[in-house]
Amino acid sequence: DIQMTQSPSSLSASVGDRVTITCRASQTIRSYLNWYQQRPGEAPNLLISAASTLQSGVPSRFSGGGFGTDFTLTISSLEAEDCATYYCQQSYGTPWTFGQGTRVEVK
Amino acid sequence: QVHLVQSGAEVKRPGASVRVSCKTSGYTFTAYYIHWVRQAPGQGPEWMGRINPNSGATTYSPSFQGRVTLTRDTSNRTAYMEVGNLRSADTAVYFCAREGDAMVVPWIAYWGQGTLITVSS
């Protein structure tokens, strides 16, 4: 299985801060990397596909980057509504695997 | 619009089996893979497997191979996930989900509301 490792596991930041979450794959996954946001009691919601493609309706303050084994999700200016857990997920090979998540708290 | 509606919560004894249904609408059922993902309390999502609704072909995670069966009923636009030999560690919310319109990199675009399966003696 391809292991996905996210860091940090949690963070606390203020409104307006720039936040970056990293995700590392245990082997190359090219750009087969997606990012999801999950709020408590809800299903995950796709933010970014193929490492850097912002999904329709997702605010432009979210961006993704990376290729191969190292990826990032950046929130350029944190807003209160961004309080959630964020997961990376690879679809390069089966079984699909998710990172362990990064919990973002807004101070 | 696309909808995936799952069956309701269940409580099962250890060793029992459970089947969760996922009724779809709003798109061509046979055109997109259906995936099953579970999430234990306080944990991240865990991919269980997928089914091609057109052919019925399945791919399972090795973690669930032999204990999970994915099927579909094309006439009713419904996918099913059955887990056997349940244990307490299987207590989780189980989601069905549909792939998006990916040209190259597949992703999950739509999710069911989730079904809580509780395994307890």
Contact A95 B61 (CB under 8 A): yes
Is any Cβ of chain B less than 8 angstroms from the Cβ of A56? no
pLDDT number for residue B65:
84
Residues of chain B with pLDDT under 70: none
**Tens digits of per-residue pLDDT, B46-57?**
999 999 999 999
Task: Yes or no: say if B17 and B29 are a contact pair by the CB < 8 Å rule.
Answer: no
Radius of gyration of chain B (CA): 14
Residue (of B8, B11, B34) closest to B114 by Cα position: B8
The secondary structure of chain B, three-state, reads CCEEEECCCEEECCCCCEEEEEEEECCCHHHCCEEEEEECCCCCEEEEEEECCCCCCEEECCCCCCCEEEEEEHHHCEEEEEECCCCHHHCEEEEEEEECCCCCCCCEEEECCCEEEEECC
Which residues from A are below 8 Å from B105, CB to CB?
A: 31-34, 49-51, 91
Is any Cβ of chain B less than 8 angstroms from the Cβ of A31? yes
- Token pair, residue B118, equals 């509780």
Residue (of A77, A62, A105) closest to A17 by Cα position: A77
Locate the chain B residue with the closest alpha carbon to A29. B105
pLDDT number for residue A64:
98
pLDDT number for residue B103:
76
Locate the chain A residue with the closest alpha carbon to B103. A50
Q: Which residue has the tokens 């997109």?
A: B32
pLDDT number for residue A85:
98
pLDDT number for residue A17:
98
Which residues from B are below 8 Å from A2, CB to CB?
A: none
Is any Cβ of chain B less than 8 angstroms from the Cβ of A64? no
Contact A49 B59 (CB under 8 A): no
pLDDT number for residue B104:
82
Pick A97's closest partner by Cβ from B47, B49, B97. Answer: B47
pLDDT number for residue B21:
98
**Tens digits of per-residue pLDDT, A41-83?**
999 999 999 999 999 999 999 999 999 999 999 999 999 999 9
Contact B46 A44 (CB under 8 A): no
Locate the chain A residue with the closest alpha carbon to B109. A46
Contact A50 B104 (CB under 8 A): yes
